[in-house]
């Protein structure tokens, strides 16, 4: 008698990135996280088994290029999200490497068979207890990173949720105590905003599993 096996689910949503994607700041009972990806997928009526969340704590753009990108391309989904770069900006920042990595990520994912979503960098320096001179320097770095991101997303047809320019993202209630990760409220607002961007751009309100 031949044993029947369940078909491997088709990945409908893949999200690459760092702990923002992982869901930190939005814990579940135990050691897990809910996060905006889960909330966003739920709003699109996507079962959990059709969602591939590659988010990893501490991931940089280089980590995405070296590891996550290949997995995303193998499991090419009709909807792909990318949120990465803050760890570059607050750590070992090299503007040329940063821009090159963003270009590699978004140009590799671009294509007629997928919609790619991302978001600009919010005012993280404003959330952190930094000396004012250093805060100013960090804000200049974030502004430079956003300029690079705008150029690359326009060139690759990537949809960009520009939270860096939205005053609501200066609301402390949207952020966890560390100032780096959204609170549960922030993750929900981000998920809702991504869904609004997706719906407004594509005319779709759901992405049903195959």
Tell me the whole-structure pTM to 2 decimals: 0.92
Token reading at 98: 């940063």
Rounded Cα gap, residues 205 and 26, in angstroms = 24
At 80-131, the pLDDT tens digits run 999 999 999 999 999 999 999 999 999 999 987 899 999 999 999 999 999 9
For helices 132-156 and 95-109, angle between their N-to-C axes, nearest 10 degrees: 30
- 8 is a domain residue: no
- 204 is a domain residue: no
Rounded Cα gap, residues 130 and 136, in angstroms = 9
Under a CB-based contact definition with an 8 Å cutoff, are residues 55 and 20 in contact? yes
Domain that holds residue 120: 13-197
Token reading at 21: 């994607």
- 113 is a domain residue: yes
Rounded Cα gap, residues 49 and 72, in angstroms = 15
10 Å CB burial of residue 31 (0-12, 13-18, 19+) is: exposed
H or E element that contains 79: strand 79-83
Mean per-residue pLDDT over the chain, rounded: 93
Q: What average pLDDT does this structure show over 124-148?
A: 96
- 18 is a domain residue: yes
Rounded Cα gap, residues 109 and 125, in angstroms = 29
- 55 is a domain residue: yes
Tell which phi-psi region holds residue 26, choosing left (phi > 0), alpha (psi between -120 and 50) or beta.
beta
Residue with tokens 């599993």: 209
- 210 is a domain residue: no
CATH at 65: 3.40.50.1110
Number of separate domains in the chain: 1
At 11-27, the pLDDT tens digits run 999 999 999 999 999 99
- 155 is a domain residue: yes
pLDDT at position 1 is 45
Contacts of 68 (CB under 8 A, 6+ apart): 16, 17, 54, 56, 59
- 208 is a domain residue: no
């Amino acid at each position: 008698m031949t044993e029947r096996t369940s078909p491997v689910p088709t990945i409908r949503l893949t999200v690459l990135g760092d702990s923002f994607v992982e869901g930190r700041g939005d814990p579940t009972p135990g050691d897990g996280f809910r996060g905006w990806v889960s909330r966003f997928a739920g709003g699109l009526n996507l079962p959990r088994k059709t969602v591939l969340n590659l988010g990893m704590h501490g991931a940089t753009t280089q980590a995405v290029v070296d590891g996550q990108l290949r997995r995303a391309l193998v499991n090419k989904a009709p909807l792909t999200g990318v949120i990465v770069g803050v760890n570059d900006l607050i750590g070992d920042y090299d503007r040329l490497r940063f821009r090159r990595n963003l270009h590699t990520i978004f140009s590799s994912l671009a294509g007629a068979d997928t919609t790619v979503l991302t978001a600009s960098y919010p005012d993280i320096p404003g959330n952190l207890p930094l000396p004012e001179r250093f805060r100013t320097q960090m804000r200049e770095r974030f502004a430079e990173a956003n300029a690079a991101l705008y150029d690359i997303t326009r060139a690759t047809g990537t949809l960009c949720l520009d939270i860096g320019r939205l005053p609501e993202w200066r609301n402390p209630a949207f952020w966890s105590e560390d100032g780096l990760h959204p609170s549960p409220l922030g993750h929900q607002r981000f998920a809702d905003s991504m869904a609004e961007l997706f719906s407004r751009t594509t005319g779709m309100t759901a992405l049903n599993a195959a």
